[in-house]
């Protein structure tokens, strides 16, 4: 593995603290309900794993994998489902769990796609948000951290599949 330059943006302790806060807010908002968390593979896996262990409400989990058509993933806006859910979400309280919202194209597509399946409620939690990079309007219901327009890795986020295992979120130079 080549050594790229890394700079810590969010340390593991800060991430953990913020996830506890998010879990408290989500548990309060959905009090008395059971929710279905849909993790977006692969980046959101670590966030989802940590988040659910702090939730005080019953949950189910499922996963989807999506990818953009073509090489230019940031501008095509066409998203393909590579792995779909194992169950119907009709009538369920659904929370999409994403690692990062960048241009907004992925979640914009995913939200509309899942909405058309008739969930009772549909919301989005993202660990990270780069609001300055939007190409389409998209506002997550819950957000861990708004971050500057830098490419970040670690805590599930990758660069060419590397660095997902890093406990901190780092800027890749």
Q: Decide: is 154 part of the binding site for ligand IMP (CB under 6 A).
A: no
Beta strands of the chain (E only): which ranges?
6-10, 35-41, 59-68, 79-83, 93-101, 121-129, 142-146, 152-153, 169-172
Q: Decide: is 43 part of the binding site for ligand IMP (CB under 6 A).
A: yes
Q: Decide: is 97 part of the binding site for ligand IMP (CB under 6 A).
A: no
C-beta closer to ligand IMP: residue 29 or 158: 158
C-beta closer to ligand IMP: residue 36 or 103: 103
102 classed as catalytic: yes
**Nearest-approach distance from CB 84 to Mg ion, in angstroms:** 16
Q: Which stretch binds Mg ion (CB under 5 A): 14-22, 43-51, 70-78, 130-138?
A: 43-51
Q: Decide: is 126 part of the binding site for ligand IMP (CB under 6 A).
A: no
Q: Answer yes or no: are the C-beta atoms of 149 and 100 closer than 8 Å.
A: no
13: Cβ–Cβ under 8 A, 6 or more apart, which residues? Answer: none
**Nearest-approach distance from CB 106 to Mg ion, in angstroms:** 7
Q: Which pair of tokens denotes residue 141?
A: 């219901």
Q: Decide: is 43 part of the binding site for Mg ion (CB under 5 A).
A: yes
Q: Decide: is 74 part of the binding site for ligand IMP (CB under 6 A).
A: yes
Question: What is the widest separation between alpha-carbon atoms in the chain?
Answer: 49
- Which of 100, 45, 43, 103 lies closest to 79 in space, CA to CA? 103
Please list the alpha-helical segments (H only) found in the chain: 12-29, 45-52, 105-115
Q: Decide: is 144 part of the binding site for ligand IMP (CB under 6 A).
A: no
Q: Decide: is 106 part of the binding site for ligand IMP (CB under 6 A).
A: yes
**Nearest-approach distance from CB 105 to ligand IMP, in angstroms:** 4
103's contact among Mg ion, ligand IMP, none, with CB below 5 to 8 A by partner kind, is ligand IMP
Residue in 50, 99, 102, 129 annotated catalytic: 102
Q: Answer yes or no: are the C-beta atoms of 36 and 60 closer than 8 Å.
A: yes
Q: Which residues pair with 22 in a beta bridge?
A: none
Residues with catalytic function: 102
């Amino acid at each position: 593995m080549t050594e790229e330059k890394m700079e810590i943006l969010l340390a593991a302790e800060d991430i953990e603290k913020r996830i506890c806060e998010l879990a408290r807010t989500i548990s309060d908002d959905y009090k008395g309900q059971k929710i279905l968390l849909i993790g977006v593979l692969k980046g959101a896996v670590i966030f989802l794993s940590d988040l659910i262990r702090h939730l005080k409400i019953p949950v189910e989990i499922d996963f989807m994998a999506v990818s953009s058509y073509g090489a230019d993933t940031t501008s095509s806006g066409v998203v393909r489902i590579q792995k779909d859910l194992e169950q119907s979400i009709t009538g369920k309280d659904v929370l999409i769990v994403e690692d990062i919202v960048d241009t907004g194209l992925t979640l914009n597509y995913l939200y509309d796609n899942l909405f058309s399946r008739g969930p009772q409620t549909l919301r989005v939690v993202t660990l990270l948000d780069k609001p300055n990079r939007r190409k389409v309007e998209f506002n997550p219901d819950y957000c861990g951290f708004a971050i500057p327009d830098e490419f970040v890795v670690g805590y599930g986020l990758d660069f060419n599949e590397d660095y997902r295992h890093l406990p901190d979120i780092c800027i890749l130079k």
